[in-house]
Amino acid sequence: MLLILFTIIIVALITYLFVKPLIDNLFNYVPHEPKYIHSYLPIIGFGFEILKNPIEFIRSLYLKYGKTFVIYLGSKRWVYLFDEQTYLTKVIKSSDLSIDDFLTDILVKGLDINRKCLTDKKIQELQVKQFHHYLVGDELEILNKLVHDSLIQSMKFDANLLTNNKNKIVNFFDFFGEFMLFAGAEGLFGHSFTSKQQNTTPSFYKLFQDFDEAYKLCFMNIPFRSILYKTILHNRNEFIKKFSFLKLNNGESKLINAREELYRSNEYKHLFREYDINGLQASMLWAAVSNTAPMACWSVVDLLLHPQALEAVKQELNENISSSSILIYDKDVLSNLKIFESCLNESMRRVRNATSTRQAMVDTTIECLDKTKIGLRKGDMLVYPAFLKNLDPNLFGSNPYGYKYDRFVKKPNQAKAPSIMIFGCGTHTCPGRFWAMNEIKIFCTTVDPFS
């Protein structure tokens, strides 16, 4: 009897999962929908393919179905649109599409942040203003110096360790990833906060890694995650707890100070639990480090693998940093290093799975510049897969994965240097992009592959 009941439930569940997309299509269909590519894995959709090799998977669909198609990733419909001009001129300017609800969902599902404090339009606006105000100009200079000093400190500490243990074998990305985490923390949260995170067990870096992992697992709605990923979720909470020890006016950046004051202001404090404030500050450090650290490591690897590039950057550094009064964290000096900049762009172009995403707030239609129409259902995610352009053989040669260090330095016979999209676009373009590029340059010169 129990077996029959169990079989009926399983059959009903499987039928429901398979039939659901068909029912969805029947009731929610909008005109001009792009080609729907069916996955036979319910709930997950093409999640495994995307996790395994997003670039090759999306490229294969693009070659087969053309510039636009729809797939399920998890329970959401993702509409891919490989048409940069339409994306830049129509999609990001349309009031029917936004990224705010999606970002809110990431923080609610990924970190258990209270939805109430994230959906307030005024707070959203103020936070974005703070990003663009406090990650440029004089503040950028201060952030740069703190990153520089922290990296030097880490290198010195490590040199001492090495003298005691000459045969140390480390994972390059973890080893320097930890340095970059402390450098980012020093810049944003100050020395007092950061020094307390040194030599703890489990390490601050391990907690950061689990925070990153937990973010993804929770956002993907993995079932039974609180049982399956107990330690990771525990470590995520431990990482967030670290930020409850942050003391204001104690060396933190203006950005962190302004965020803390906003959340604790009389006007808004009723919306935030202590956990929410700590979680939001932790996610700020995550935004600052999760991409910058691996990109910095790739940049060094590429310089080491390409002696011509290394020599050219070395020469550029010698030409620009001749006097001892000009320091390597000066933002104007750093922005003058065009060959160096080109090398970093070339590394990021080849390894970064760059995309830009918006979500349809209502059923809507986008008319492309070539007049084709794209119907979107409310809730659809619209993605511009910038990585397809960044690796396009028509733009970057028959071997687009090849490393050409001066590709982004404008040549006399070119109207302009080639462009790539790494930091997104529109009003949500990464506000930390200037700091990120400066940090990577500072990191490369501190690791010093040139000597």
Nearest by Cα to 348 from 302, 308, 417, 284 = 302
Residues in CB range of 181: below 8 A, 6 or more apart? 204, 205, 208, 285, 289, 293
Residues in CB range of 146: below 8 A, 6 or more apart? 183, 186, 187, 190, 191
Nearer to ligand HEM, 342 or 356 (CB): 356
Q: Report, in Å, the least distance between residue 196 CB and ligand HEM.
A: 21
Nearer to ligand HEM, 155 or 287 (CB): 287
Contact 303, 444 (CB under 8 A): yes
Nearer to ligand HEM, 58 or 233 (CB): 58
Q: Report, in Å, the least distance between residue 383 CB and ligand HEM.
A: 11
Nearer to ligand HEM, 287 or 301 (CB): 287
443: DSSP letter = H
Q: Report, in Å, the least distance between residue 6 CB and ligand HEM.
A: 45
Q: Report, in Å, the least distance between residue 92 CB and ligand HEM.
A: 8
Q: How many residues does the chain have?
A: 451
Nearest by Cα to 239 from 267, 272, 212 = 212
Nearer to ligand HEM, 110 or 424 (CB): 424
Nearer to ligand HEM, 33 or 209 (CB): 209
Nearer to ligand HEM, 128 or 271 (CB): 128
- Residue 88 forms beta bridges with which residues? none
For residue 201, how far is the Cα from the chain centroid?
27
88: DSSP letter = I
Nearer to ligand HEM, 133 or 234 (CB): 133
Q: Report, in Å, the least distance between residue 259 CB and ligand HEM.
A: 10
Nearer to ligand HEM, 292 or 390 (CB): 292
Q: Is the dihedral of CA 375, 381, 382, 383 positive or negative?
A: negative
Q: Report, in Å, the least distance between residue 266 CB and ligand HEM.
A: 25
**d(Cα 216, Cα 88) in Å, to the nearest integer?**
28
Contact 47, 74 (CB under 8 A): yes
**d(Cα 407, Cα 418) in Å, to the nearest integer?**
7
Contact 255, 130 (CB under 8 A): yes
Q: Report, in Å, the least distance between residue 377 CB and ligand HEM.
A: 21
Q: Report, in Å, the least distance between residue 184 CB and ligand HEM.
A: 7
Nearer to ligand HEM, 153 or 356 (CB): 356
Nearer to ligand HEM, 233 or 284 (CB): 284
Q: Report, in Å, the least distance between residue 256 CB and ligand HEM.
A: 10
Contact 408, 390 (CB under 8 A): no
Q: Report, in Å, the least distance between residue 293 CB and ligand HEM.
A: 9
Main-chain phi, psi angles of 375, to 5 degrees: -85, 135
Contact footprint for ligand HEM (CB under 6 A): 99, 103, 128, 131, 135, 287-288, 291-292, 295, 356, 422-426, 428-432, 435-436
Residues in CB range of 293: below 8 A, 6 or more apart? 173, 176, 177, 180, 181, 184
**d(Cα 69, Cα 71) in Å, to the nearest integer?**
7
- Residue 72 forms beta bridges with which residues? 77
Q: Report, in Å, the least distance between residue 43 CB and ligand HEM.
A: 26
Residues in CB range of 78: below 8 A, 6 or more apart? 70, 71, 72, 380, 381, 383
